[in-house]
Amino acid sequence: MALVSAKEMLEKARDGKYAVGQFNINNLEWTKAILQTAEELKSPVILGVSEGAGKYMTGFKTVANMVKAMIEELKITVPVALHLDHGTYEGCYKCIEAGFSSIMFDGSHFPIEENVEKTKELVNVCKKQGLSLEAEVGAIGGEEDGVIGKGECADPDECKRIADLKVTMLAAGIGNIHGKYPADWAGLSFETLAAVKEKVGKMPLVLHGGTGIPTEMIKKAISLGVAKINVNTECQLAFQEATRKYIEEGKDLVGKGFDPRKLLAPGVQAIKDTVKEKMEIFGSIGKA
């Protein structure tokens, strides 16, 4: 199956009261692990690529071509969207040209007028090409690939202005943070989420910072209109722990244990287990 826009899968998720996971990729192993898990569980999936990860993988064209070829070679039949995560204005155009099927323009750090103006332009460009577009209002806290946000709650009226531009999905800050949550984290602001939902109607909402959010909060967020949840750090931590264990147990020193295919295998399995666990919580299994 060819790459698809995220529009249809997210509208189905919104109507069916579940969420589609966006799992960020870093390399071939990550991509393969996520695609195989989605196929095995018959779940739609969104592969997220930050600008930093795109650069690391030598550029967006490499990423798009790798993902498209992998879908074909692995005979993936579930819907897969390849999505730019927290895109800059320039990055959005690069990904459109490279063949991504979904784009996020993160204009949350601009004054609202500029965010509206740039998002509006990108809505038109993406619409012409059949791509889905995510916009953001109210910065997500923490740091992801050098993108630092203060973690403010979005203004529901500003959310309405952006939603009215007919973006496909909207990320609204509700006290969520990229990376691990601090021990004194106040939790998601459901008050903000409900107020945003009230203003934006049926617009599918996106919850960033999916790592470490308790299951009950995730379920409540889905009941209040969240249809896409982003997970990045949790797969990285799972990979790191499994790889550390393999080396600490000295397995790399036994036989051909140094072979990268063996060395990386426990980490890959840990990514698969994490993705499965998240898809179970999000309710997307069997929805492809």
24 forms beta bridges with: 48
Q: Does 278 bind ligand 13P (CB under 6 A)?
A: no
Name the residue with tokens 């617009």. Answer: 203
**What CA–CA distance (Å, rounded) separates 122 from 116?**
10
Stretch that binds ligand 13P, among 126-134, 202-210, 247-255, 260-268 (CB under 6 A): 202-210
Q: Which of 5, 211, 243, 284 binds ligand 13P (CB under 6 A)?
A: 211
Stretch that binds ligand 13P, among 35-43, 118-126, 204-212, 218-226 (CB under 6 A): 204-212
85 is catalytic: yes
Q: Which of 141, 210, 266, 267 binds ligand 13P (CB under 6 A)?
A: 210
Give ∠ CA 10-159-232 in degrees, rounded to 5.
50
Stretch that binds ligand 13P, among 26-34, 152-160, 208-216, 250-258 (CB under 6 A): 208-216
**What CA–CA distance (Å, rounded) separates 48 from 80?**
11
Alpha helices, DSSP H only, in the chain? 7-16, 28-41, 51-56, 60-73, 89-98, 112-129, 156-163, 190-200, 215-223, 233-248, 260-263, 265-282
Closest separation in Å from C-beta 106 to ligand 13P: 9
Size of the site for ligand 13P (CB under 6 A): 16
Q: Which of 31, 37, 43, 232 binds ligand 13P (CB under 6 A)?
A: 232
Q: Does 108 bind ligand 13P (CB under 6 A)?
A: no
169 forms beta bridges with: 134
3-class secondary-structure state, position 251 = helix
Neighbouring CB atoms inside 10 A of 93's CB total 14
Identify residues 137-156 at the interface with ligand 13P (CB under 6 A).
Answer: 144
Closest separation in Å from C-beta 23 to ligand 13P: 9
- DSSP letters for 23-35: EE--SHHHHHHHH
Q: Does 234 bind ligand 13P (CB under 6 A)?
A: yes
Q: Catalytic one among 85, 145, 155, 157? A: 85
Residues that bind ligand 13P (CB under 6 A): 24, 48, 85-86, 144, 178-179, 208-211, 230-234
Residues with catalytic roles: 85
